[in-house]
Structure 1
Amino acid sequence: MSRIVSFSRYGGPEVLEFKNIEVAAPAANEVRLAVKAIGLNRAESMWRSGNYVEEVKLPARLGYEVSGVVESVGASVTHVKVGDVVSTVPSFSMNDYGMYGELVLAPAHAVVKHSEPISFEDAVAIWNVFITPYAAFTQGNRLSPGQTVLITAASSGVGVGAIQIANALGAVPIALTRTNAKREALLELGAAHVIATDEQDVAAEVARITNGKGADLVFDSVGGPLFPKLIEATAAGGNVLVYGELSTDVTPLPMLTVLAKRITIHGFNLFETTTTPELQRAAVKFILDGVASGELKTVIAQRFAFNDIVEAHRVLEKNQHLGRLVVNV
Structure 2
Amino acid sequence: MTRIYQFAKAGGPEVLELVEVEENQLGSNEVRIKVKAIGINRAEAMWRADMYIEPVKFPAGLGYEASGVIDALGANVTGLAVGDDVSVIPSFSMNQYFTYGEVVNLPDFAVVKHPETLSYEEAASVWMMFITAYGALIEDAKVGAGDFVLIPAASSSVGLAAIQIARYAGATPIALTRTSAKTEQLLAAGAAHVIATSEEDLVEEVMRITEGKGARVAFDPVGGPGFPKLIDALAFQGIVYIYGALAEGETPMPVLAMIAKMPTIKAHNIWLTSGDDTRRKAAVRYITAGLADGALKPVIDRTFAFDDMVEVHRYLENNGQFGKVVVTV
Query: 1:133 maps to which residue?
Result: 133
Change beyond 3 A, Cα 1:141–1:264: closer
1:188 maps onto 2:188 in alignment: yes
Q: CA deviation at 1:161?
A: 0.5
- SS of 1:250's equivalent? coil
Deviates more, 1:5-14 or 1:86-95: 5-14
Query: 1:13 maps to which residue?
Result: 13
Letter aligned with residue 292 of structure 1: A
TM alignment of 1:1-329, pairs within 5 A: 1-114=1-114, 116-329=116-329
- SS of 2:222's equivalent? coil
Structure 1 residues 207-261: Cα deviation after superposition (integer angstroms, max 9, x where no partner): 1111111110000000111101111111110000000111123211101111111
Deviates more, 1:244-253 or 1:68-77: 244-253
Letter aligned with residue 92 of structure 2: F
**Aligned residue pairs, count:** 329
Separation in 2, partners of 1:67, 1:186: 27
Contact kept in structure 2, 1:239 and 1:266, CA below 8 Å:
yes
- SS of 2:66's equivalent? strand
Q: Tell me the TM-score normalised to structure 1 length.
A: 0.98
Runs of 4+ residues deviating >3 angstroms: none
Change beyond 3 A, Cα 1:229–1:115: closer
Q: CA deviation at 1:144?
A: 2.6
Deviates more, 1:87-96 or 1:144-153: 144-153
Q: CA deviation at 1:78?
A: 0.9
Letter aligned with residue 224 of structure 2: G
Q: CA deviation at 1:115?
A: 5.6
Q: Tell me the TM-score normalised to structure 2 length.
A: 0.98
Contact kept in structure 2, 1:25 and 1:32, CA below 8 Å:
no
- SS of 1:65's equivalent? coil
- SS of 2:218's equivalent? strand
Separation in 2, partners of 1:216, 1:258: 14
Q: Gaps (5+ residues) in structure 2?
A: none
% identity of equivalent residues = 54
Separation in 1, partners of 2:272, 2:253: 26
Structure 1 residues 166-219: Cα deviation after superposition (integer angstroms, max 9, x where no partner): 000000000001100000000011101001111111111111111111110000
Letter aligned with residue 236 of structure 2: A
Letter aligned with residue 76 of structure 1: N
Q: CA deviation at 1:297?
A: 1.4
Contact kept in structure 2, 1:14 and 1:310, CA below 8 Å:
yes
Contact kept in structure 1, 2:173 and 2:192, CA below 8 Å:
yes
Q: CA deviation at 1:57?
A: 1.1
Contact kept in structure 2, 1:142 and 1:217, CA below 8 Å:
no
Q: Gaps (5+ residues) in structure 1?
A: none
Structure 1 residues 82-120: Cα deviation after superposition (integer angstroms, max 9, x where no partner): 111001000000010011000111011000013634210
Separation in 1, partners of 2:292, 2:310: 33
